[in-house]
Chains A and B, each alone.
Chain A
Amino acid sequence: MKILIDGIEIEAQPGETILEAAKRTGIHIPTLCYHEAFGGQGSCRFCMVEVTKNGSSRVVASCTYPVNDGIEVKTSTPQIDKIRRNIAMLLYKRAPNSLFMQTLYKEHLCTENNLTEDPHEKCILCRLCVNACASMGVSAISTVMRGTDKRVATPYDDAAAVCIGCAACAQVCPTGCIEVQEEGNTRRIWNRDFVMVACEDCGKKFATREQLAYIVDKSKQDSPEGELQLCETCRRKVIARKLETFNG
Chain B
Amino acid sequence: MRKKSKKKQVLVCCGTGCIANGGLDVYQAFKNNPGGLFELASSDDIKATGCHGLCSSGPFVRILPDDITYCQVKASDVEEIIEKSIKGSELINRLLYRDPQSKKRVQNLDKIAFNSMQVKKALRNVGLINPESLQDYLERQGYQALHKALKMKPEAVAQEIIDAGLRGRGGGGFPTGLKWKACQAAASTPKYIVCNGDEGDPGAFMDESIMEGDPHTILEGMSICAYTVGASKGFIYVRDEYAGSVTALTRAISDAREHSFLGNNILGSGLNFDIEIVRGGGAFVCGEETALLASIEGNVGEPWDKYVFPTEKGLWGQPTVINNVETWSNVPLILLEGAKKFASTGTAGSKGTKVFSLVGKVVNTGLVEVPMGTSLRDIIFTIGGGVPGKRKFKAVQTGGPSGGCIPESLLDLKVDFDSLSEAGSMMGSGGMIVMDDRTCMVEVARYYLQFLAGESCGKCVPCREGIRSMLEILERICNGQGCLQDLDLLEDIGESVRTAALCALGRTAPNPVLSTLKYFRDEYLEHIVNHRCPAGVCKELSEFYIDAELCNGCGLCAKNCPVDAVQGEKKQPHVIDNSKCIKCGECINECQFLAVKVR
Contacts and interface: CB of A to CB of B under 8 A. Distances in A.
A147 B502 contact: no
B461 A90 contact: yes
Contacts of A48: 499-500
A45 B461 contact: yes
Interface residues of B, number: 39
A115 B473 contact: yes
Contacts of B452: 147
A86 B496 contact: yes
B148 to A, nearest CB: 37
B283 A146 contact: yes
A86 B493 contact: yes
A139 to B, nearest CB: 12
B285 A146 contact: yes
A146 B455 contact: yes
A150 B456 CA distance: 10
Given A86-B496, A115-B473, A42 B304 contact: yes
Interface string B358-370: 0000000000000
Contact of A148 (B283, B454, B502): B454
Contacts of A45: 460-462, 500-502
Contacts, number: 115
A131 B459 CA distance: 13
B453 interface: yes
B56 interface: no
Contact of B305 (A46, A61, A91, A149): A61
A91 B465 contact: yes
A113 B486 CA distance: 9
B142 interface: no
B462 A87 contact: yes
A79 B459 CA distance: 22
A113 B496 contact: no
Given A42-B502, A61-B502, A148 B468 contact: yes
B37 interface: no
Given A146-B456, A147-B454, A148-B464, A90 B469 contact: yes
B489 A116 contact: no
B285 A60 contact: no
Contact of B499 (A79, A90, A145, A148): A79
A56 interface: no
Given A83-B499, A90-B493, A143 B461 contact: no
Given A87-B500, A147-B456, A113 B485 contact: yes
B308 to A, nearest CB: 6
A143 B458 contact: yes
Contacts of A146: 283, 285, 454-458
B501 A147 contact: no
A122 interface: no
Please name the 9 residue pairs, one residue from A and one from B, whose CB atoms are nearest each other, closest first.
A150-B458, A90-B465, A86-B496, A64-B305, A148-B468, A147-B456, A45-B500, A42-B305, A83-B500
B400 to A, nearest CB: 16
A153 B486 CA distance: 34
A86 B464 CA distance: 13
Tell me which of A82, A94, A146 has the highest count of chain B C-beta atoms within 10 A of its own C-beta: A146
A172 B471 CA distance: 32
Contacts of A113: 485, 489
A181 interface: no
B466 interface: yes
A147 B458 contact: yes
25 contacts: A42-B502, A45-B460, A45-B500, A45-B501, A65-B305, A65-B307, A79-B499, A82-B492, A83-B462, A83-B499, A86-B500, A94-B468, A113-B485, A113-B489, A114-B483, A115-B469, A125-B461, A143-B300, A145-B458, A146-B285, A146-B456, A147-B456, A149-B458, A150-B459, A150-B464
Given A45-B461, A59-B500, A147-B453, 8 more contacts: A42-B305, A86-B492, A86-B500, A115-B489, A143-B458, A146-B458, A147-B456, A149-B458
Contacts of A187: none
A224 interface: no
B73 interface: no
Contacts of B492: 82, 86
A206 to B, nearest CB: 34
Interface string B233-264: 00000000000000000000000000000000
A218 B461 CA distance: 36
A141 to B, nearest CB: 13
Interface in B487-506: 489, 492-493, 495-496, 499-502
Interface in A16-48: 32, 42-46, 48
Contacts of A124: 461
A176 interface: no
Contacts of A42: 304-305, 460, 502
A149 B454 contact: yes
Contacts of B501: 45
A46 B501 CA distance: 10
B232 to A, nearest CB: 28
Interface in A111-134: 113-116, 124-125
Given A83-B500, A86-B496, A60 B307 contact: yes
B397 to A, nearest CB: 21
Interface in A147-193: 147-150
Contacts of B472: 115-116
Given A82-B496, A86-B492, A147 B300 contact: no
B451 to A, nearest CB: 10
